[in-house]
Amino acid sequence: MSKVHNFSAGPCILPPEVLSKASQSVIELGNHGLSLIEMSHRSAPFVEIMEKARNHVKELLNVPDGYTVLFLQGGASLGFYISAMNFMKEGGKAAYVDTGSWSNKAIKEAKLLGDVDVVASSEESNFNYIPKGYTVPSDVDYLHLTSNNTIFGTQIKEFPQSSVPVICDMSSDIFSKPVNVSDFALIYGGAQKNMGPAGTTFYIVKDELLGKTGRKIPSMLNLEVHKSKDSMFNTPPVFPVYVSMLMMEWMMEQGGVPEMERRNNAKAELLYGEIDRNPLFKGTTAVEDRSPMNATFVLTNESLKGEFDTMWNAAGISGIKGHRSVGGYRASMYNALPLESVQVLVDVMQELERKA
């Protein structure tokens, strides 16, 4: 099989070593005589996997004492509602920054529970920048942010100072750069953007802020319940948790989050440098807000689309078609994507320039 350069926005690319170990576990986990996916989640081997996964999150992100790590189900889409339900008081209000499709969905879910103050938005420019200089109201229960926007290719570079608890959806850039966890009341996200396969969602929650809403919360949506059961209130998504654990071990073997950040910056500099240099391409986002995870760009001459598409397909490139909201192209460069793959894409862009 020829090499495929996987730029998919999600599910994300995973290292070959992780895929090899994961595939073996489907046949037999270790020497236990059972497949991981037929093994009881209450068995000692899986309890150990869950504990390792949770501890790896703490180690990679230097999570301080007083925070709990959970692996649950439902994706960030359920997290939109769970975060609001666990932090918005009965009859309360929350502040949201609207930076794209996912924050918009989070706003919609929060409105089911109380008042929402959209304190800043870049919707008028089709979300091609991150709003700055806005004021966070002091009378809200929390401020909600989306750190990285996969569709529009923007990323928050500096989080705002806030006198109220901050909640952040970090689905698509978790582990890509260091994060000061103590600045947040809750960090959550789907694993499938930069951490593992689809099927599990991570939550990093500040313990002392739970149980303060005054509302009755269904057990499956109650982070306190899941905390009390160590992510085992119900049957967890065993395979996604296991693969996420393997992915975190791979990151630690490579040098941890600082090394991931170094590699990601190198990939982003290579691709964005070509986008800016090559007259046949242009970026779609504000330069200062460009995401290292998701580079969005378009052709300056649409008549070259057919030829460019043929060329990158022939080079074994997969997953760079842009989202319909933006059009053009989107190259997602998650932790496991090698610099080599980015160079292949840059080579194709340069070849198109030579032919044009």
Catalogue the E-assigned strands of 112-174.
115-121, 143-146, 148-149, 154-155, 166-169
Per the annotation, the verdict on 3 as an active-site residue is: no
3-state secondary structure of 27: helix
DSSP character for 296? E
Place of tokens 């929650």: 205
- Is 305 catalytic? The answer is no
End-to-end CA distance of the chain: 31
Residue 66's alpha-carbon distances to 69, 168, 222, in angstroms, are 10, 18, 18
From 141, 173, 193, 227, active-site residue: 193
169: annotated active-site residue: yes
Q: Catalytic one among 98, 102, 141, 177?
A: 102
Beta bridge partners of 167: 144, 186
- Tokens 């339900």 -> residue: 85
Pick the catalytic residue from 169, 173, 177, 227.
169
Q: How far apart are CA 259 and CA 252, in angstroms?
A: 9
Pull the structure tokens for residue 196.
């593992």
* Backbone phi, psi, residue 92, to 5°: -90, -165
- Which residues are known to be catalytic? 102, 169, 193
